[in-house]
Amino acid sequence: MRRAPKKKIQKLAGDALRIANLASAVSQAGSRLEDQDWQNLLDELIAKNLEARHQSILDAAAEHVFTNQPEAYEVLIEAIESIATSGHQEAGDTDYELLLVAAPILAWSRFDIASGPIPAPIVKSLSLSWRESLLCKGVQVSLLPTLYSIDQLPQDHCAVNELLHHTAQNFLRNKNNSSPKELPKTVPFLADSRYLLGVILAPTNAPVFQWQLTAPPFDIAKAKEAALLLWKQRAHADVGHLLPGCGFEFLLPEAYYSACREADILIRPISIRATVFYLTQTLNIEASELSAVVARFGPELNPGQVDEIRIGFTLKKASDIIYGVIWPLYQQEDEVNALVGANSANVEQRAGEIPTLLKESGIQQILVLEDIFGLEFCDDCQAPLYADAEGDLVHPEMPEDAPPEGSVHLH
């Protein structure tokens, strides 16, 4: 299940109420015919508000169903995401189905991980690789000329929908897409996701992806693996040019929201491994000389809700947090999976993903705090604060004798 909206909206009326009630009706449908009828009405109302850029109405409806009708929440969010990232466009005698797709790249480096404009020759080369590796004959892709960090992606459903249609219209008019003149600054991490975005234009009722042509007995997983392998081979040199000094791993290009969620989940363990490697190489120590303090964080307005886990690293013989990693949570079971057995006094019984990764990386001294802390950030630089062993929220600071930034490779 997707995470709850962070906005607290008290009043519901008009389209927001109608959207919430239709989502509830879909979730309670007793037959496919009834389901489709309610779903069509819901889709039409969502599409109307996306076109009018009424994001606040969609947010209000999502907050309401999450709080009052949780069985309808997944129905509503899936509908909003699907409509925001897909559509129709006529061009002459051809009717196209549109889909916004993201190709995630998981990257790690001791240096800054690049983002921003992509040179035109590389856009052309990647577009060709995308078509030949992933798409069926006759399906086109308009690749956006920007390598995005998560901070630079469209920030709401209305912006995503506008990007979809604007990109498709430019393609059909033979107009080049341009990279935004100003992109938000990216918070530097040792491991982070980067995204290639493209709008797919497929003739109506035609297959889109090559794995849709799989013959019986329809081993789609195997077909997707083959497509991903080909995409890696074709795009590796171009992506290497865009990400100098980085190690990186490709994920399968998928529908925008699905691909972004998959990347967010898979970058988490890479972030922990990259951090341990960075600290041991930079400080010239063994991983066993490090300790970790693991704490849960959530919005103060929703007591008990946990949005992320922050892992602070210390030297074993000191209490100061020297570095931190955020483990965001996206599904209700994420917290349990990350910290299974965290209430146990016996560290060895903690078999959650985070303690397991830390131990596999060589860190044995792990403290899991019981409190849930507010989502606090530094007033000066907006960096997240981490809990130390005493439960105080502090700004991570590397030792004064640590080598300067950028002096050690991570791979």
Is the pTM higher than 0.75? yes
The answer to whether the beta carbons of residues 65 and 7 sit under 8 Å apart is: no
Per-residue confidence (pLDDT) for residue 350, from 0 to 100: 52
* For the chain, domain boundaries: 14-84, 87-265, 284-394
Per-residue confidence (pLDDT) for residue 210, from 0 to 100: 96
Looking at this protein, which amino acid is placed at residue 332? Q
Residues 6+ apart with CB under 8 A from 234: 129, 132, 133
Of the candidates 112, 132, 329, 235, the one whose C-alpha atom is nearest the C-alpha of residue 249 is 235
Per-residue confidence (pLDDT) for residue 349, from 0 to 100: 53
Per-residue confidence (pLDDT) for residue 409, from 0 to 100: 41
Per-residue confidence (pLDDT) for residue 11, from 0 to 100: 67
Looking at residue 211, what DSSP letter applies? G
Task: Give the pair of three-digit tokens for residue 408.
Answer: 């050690």
3-state secondary structure of 365: strand
Per-residue confidence (pLDDT) for residue 411, from 0 to 100: 36
Per-residue confidence (pLDDT) for residue 400, from 0 to 100: 81
What is the per-residue burial (b if ≥16 Cβ within 10 Å, else e) of 346-364? eeeebebbbbebbbebebe
Looking at this protein, which amino acid is placed at residue 333? E
The alpha-helical segments, DSSP class H, found in 55-192 are 55-68, 70-84, 120-134, 157-172
Residues 6+ apart with CB under 8 A from 228: 250, 251, 252
pLDDT-flagged residues of the chain (< 50): 1-2, 9, 341-345, 347, 407-411
